Structure 1
């Protein structure tokens, strides 16, 4: 009878041990699950911040491209105006040179005519 009681005690302690083992397993599993969720939330949060930053950078790039296009157009207009002014100044210089040549020739002709009249 005493052996039977000892067997029941062992069986009872084995059941307690197994129940404790199952309970520890569930606690560890829950802890691992919670840690995995925290890790996943941390990673997802970083990805979300990166995604948001990427969208902001893309918007800035588009705005910068518009600004560059506007400045390019304005620069081309300034270059065209500058080229036009250079052409006009060149024409004025050519005209001034032509006028000096005409003045010299007219003076030469006038001097020659005066010589002819005085002879």
Structure 2
């Protein structure tokens, strides 16, 4: 019984070995055929090389264009933000100019009030001076 088991194990390992041998043969045969095609038919390898180069070129172009497209999109967003900021700045500039005009107007009014107060003080002093002079004249 044990001999039968050993025989079966040997057969199993022998079958595995033979299968590996057949697989290696097929792989080597395929490699030889591919190399033979390159040597016998150089136009096939040239066409394959051209196709590969074209594919690489397309991939590189897609990569570069993707970056350019992102940059272009970002540029458009930045330009829109700049336009919005320019509008906001113009609005604030107009508002600031209005505030400055109002401030100058208020300063002018305060100056006029100050001038009027000064004029009133001058008039009061002059009236008091005239009053004092008249009292002096009347008393003399």
TM-superposition CA deviations, 1:89-119 (whole Å, max 9, x none): 1101110110010000000000011111111
Change (3 A) 1:29 1:67: farther
Q: Distance in 1 between matches of 2:33 and 2:99?
A: 66
Q: How many residues align?
A: 119
Seen in structure 2, the aligned counterparts of structure 1 residues 11 and 109 have a Cα distance that, compared at 3 Å, is farther
Deviations 1:71-101 (A, max 9, x none): 0000000000000001001101110110010
Residues in 1 aligned to 2:133 and 2:33: alpha-carbon distance in whole angstroms: 115
Structure 1 unaligned regions, length at least 5 = none
Q: Which runs of 5+ in 2 are unaligned?
A: 36-56
Structure 1 residues 60-71: aligned runs within 5 Å:
60-71=81-92
Runs of 4 or more, structure 1, over 3 Å off, are: 1-35
Please identify the structure whose Cα radius of gyration is greater.
Answer: 2
Distance in 2 (alpha carbons) for counterparts of 1:66 and 1:43: 35
More deviation, 85-94/11-20 = 11-20
Root-mean-square deviation (Å): 10.6
